[in-house]
A and B are shown apart, each in its own frame.
Chain A
Amino acid sequence: MKKKLMFMAIAAAFLGMAAVVPAQQAKLSGGVVKIGILTDLSGLYSDLSGQGSLVAARMAIDDFLKQEKNPFKIELVSADHQNKGDVASNKAREWFERDGVDMIGDLVTSSTALAVMPVAKEMNRVTIVNGAASTNITGKACTDLNVHYAYDTFALAIGTGRAVVKQGGDSWFFLTADYAFGHSLEKDTSDVVTAMGGKVLGAVRHPFPGTDFSSFLLKAQASGAKVIGLANAGTDTTNSIKQAAEFGITPKQSLAGLLMFITDVHSLSLKTAGGMYLTEGFYWDFSDATRAWSKRFFDQHKRMPTMVQAGIYSSTMHYLKAVKDAGTDEAKAVVRKMKDTPVNDFFAQNGRIREDGRLLHDFYLLQVKTPAESKGPWDYYHVRQVIPAADAAIPAAKSECPLLKK
């Protein structure tokens, strides 16, 4: 009898749970929140995003489940977009249509972000861009279901461009990666330079990815510009810097690395990169909060996080909280909630997602330390200036995004 009672009690408990769980999850498509990290897992951006992005996303999911006491089931899937727009959009479609993915994160190359965003819009799903930088993502191509989280070329241009012109670097020549991101970075930086009274003497577009930059560097040398702006990224940038030194172009002319990640500085070594200015949306050694989180990341990934990887954590957490608060994973409701809730964590203080999808948060103008100034591994930057969120994004009045015109 006792046994029977116990059995009934357990059965009732299970039934009760079964009755409660669906009630809570009723508004989740497929009964689960499915996050897809679409990133560069093998190409030249795989150090600044790649596996580290997956680590960050996994950390965010684990932390969320722990903090919120398992409110719903979360799945994480990942794929390599090979930095190709068509590969990315095909994968996104497959994920949305067949696998029920609710949100796609990362999207490292601007061409992949711009290819996936319309697919997500069509299928009513969320995209959170962390890796890509083109201002078109929240400009002409903006959608109401997209969030551009970590950084964009405008912020980079404002940070580095301004600082270099102020130091007397008032004539520029650009070495530009020949695709959406490079063009966007070149244009935004040119605007900053001319607005501050500097001159842009020319630009050369190099194929992406490239190996030998000496021909392009000679052109830049011949232009006589004081500053050679590197509107490229990853190994393209590190190769350009290395070869500029080899050809004796630096230090006569100075280089401005317009997009450099901490992984690039790590690769170049402080001896080569020391003294350069750069702009990032995150630096691990900025505050106690950034240090604490970064240390946890380092323990798992054995490298300090880039701003992209930190952004993945912060944005995934923000997304999951929005799903919980909205009580649904329906894209419009979730993005609405994300925009209505300020972001306050180690990544952004009083961050706010504007109607065009851009997260407004502070940026940092950094200067790479020389080997003598660095106290140890990954101690790479002086924080020279905090660029306030309001200055680091295209002013709403100048934006080409129709969502801001309402």
Chain B
Amino acid sequence: MFELLGISPQALYGQLLIGLINGSFYAVLSLGLAIIFGLLNIINFSHGAQYMMGAFVAWIGLTQLPQWLGNPDFVINYWAALVLVPLIVGAFGVFIERTMLRRLYKLDHLYGLLLTFGIALIIEGLFRDWYGVSGQQYEIPEVFQGTINLGFMFLPKYRAWVVVAALTVCFLSWYVIERTKLGSYLRAGTENPRLTQAFGVNVPLMITLTYGYGVALAAFAGVLAAPIFTVSPKMGADLIIVVFAVVVIGGMGSIFGAIVTGIGLGLIEGLTRVFYPEASAVVIFVIMAIVLLVRPAGLFGRER
């Protein structure tokens, strides 16, 4: 049996698998960011907060709602949350786009970034004030409790589901945008909004819905994350910087790039944790610096 720097292949497979799981989270989150940036030219800094909202709304639906309504039957369970929460948080995104973001499209990127950053701080502050930072626990749904013995590791069933769900959503989003007629409208709308509008396509509505969809993706990732991580107001802020790095490496606005880079960087991060855990928080940024030096538009981005 070969050993690599004292790491047995079993341990290595385990770590790679965990990298894949984290990579799927990065992929869903960076996909949402990439869609928003690609179609709206807005750097959505509140993405992390919207991810956190997703987890919180799911938790509220499961544990708080029955108390508020005084009826223990009125519970939004995990499966309902998976559908409902992205809709609720997505609607919140639509509200933000309609009332605020809309006014910034003609200005520099920086304004959108500042606005969304401000919104993120407000959302986080509100949740911190309401629920504190220690965090809340969301039970893993019963079907997914327990582990599967893979021989080289015990894989929690829930984590396996996360990979499947995340990759399915990523693939569907990519397919719709790149391969369907609706997607072609979207792409045309960003390329040349006035001309597209002249063909009778309602571009402003499309942009609103796109932002809503990007936000819904963040909320979806939040619901997926709720049973694994402590649901706390800080959970988004901890993740968002990494996700931004993923988008930059993949190429701003490149949808395919965001998915592939998300998974790839999850794997690389996982490997770093095996060989030099202290560096695991930095490795993504080191890669980002190198990629920016060699290919300023990112791995999959187009130079404009």
Give residues in A with beta carbon < 8 Å to B: 42-48, 50, 178, 204-207, 209-212, 214-216, 218-219, 222, 234-235, 238-239, 242-243, 246-248, 263-264, 266-269, 272, 303
B134, A215: Cβ atoms closer than 8 Å: no
A218, B133: Cβ atoms closer than 8 Å: no
Residues of B contacting A216 with CB < 8 Å?
A: 273, 277
Q: Evaluate whether A238 and B128 lie within 8 angstroms (CB atoms) in the complex, with A204-B277, A247-B154 already known.
A: no
B183 part of interface (Cβ distance < 8 Å)? no
Residues of A contacting B8 with CB < 8 Å?
A: 222
- Expressed in whole angstroms, the minimum distance between the Cβ of A280 and any Cβ of chain B is 15
Size category, B interface: 35 or more
B239 part of interface (Cβ distance < 8 Å)? yes
Closest 6 CB pairs of A and B: A207-B281, A267-B134, A215-B273, A47-B134, A248-B147, A248-B154
- Expressed in whole angstroms, the minimum distance between the Cβ of A283 and any Cβ of chain B is 17
Contact of A215 among B229, B234, B274 (CB under 8 A): B274
Contact code string B142-162 (vs A, CB < 8 Å = 1, else 0): 000011000001101011000
Q: Evaluate whether A218 and B14 lie within 8 angstroms (CB atoms) in the complex, with A42-B128, A242-B230 already known.
A: yes
Interface residues of B in 260-304 (CB under 8 A from A): 270, 273-274, 277-278, 280-281
- Expressed in whole angstroms, the minimum distance between the Cβ of A185 and any Cβ of chain B is 17
Contact of B229 among A48, A211, A219, A248 (CB under 8 A): A211
- Expressed in whole angstroms, the minimum distance between the Cβ of A145 and any Cβ of chain B is 31
Residues of B contacting A46 with CB < 8 Å?
A: 128, 132-133
Find the A residue at minimum CB distance from B25. Answer: A212
Q: How far is the CA of A268 from the CA of B230 in the complex (A)?
A: 9
Contact code string B2-30 (vs A, CB < 8 Å = 1, else 0): 00000010110011001101100000000
Q: How far is the CA of A216 from the CA of B278 in the complex (A)?
A: 11
Contact of A246 among B128, B140, B239 (CB under 8 A): B140
Q: Evaluate whether A219 and B156 lie within 8 angstroms (CB atoms) in the complex, with A205-B277, A207-B281, A267-B230 already known.
A: no
Residues of B contacting A45 with CB < 8 Å?
A: 133
Contact of B228 among A206, A209, A243, A268 (CB under 8 A): A243
* 11 further contact pairs, Cβ within 8 A, besides A48-B134, A207-B278: A46-B128, A207-B281, A212-B228, A218-B15, A218-B18, A222-B10, A235-B135, A248-B146, A248-B147, A263-B134, A264-B134
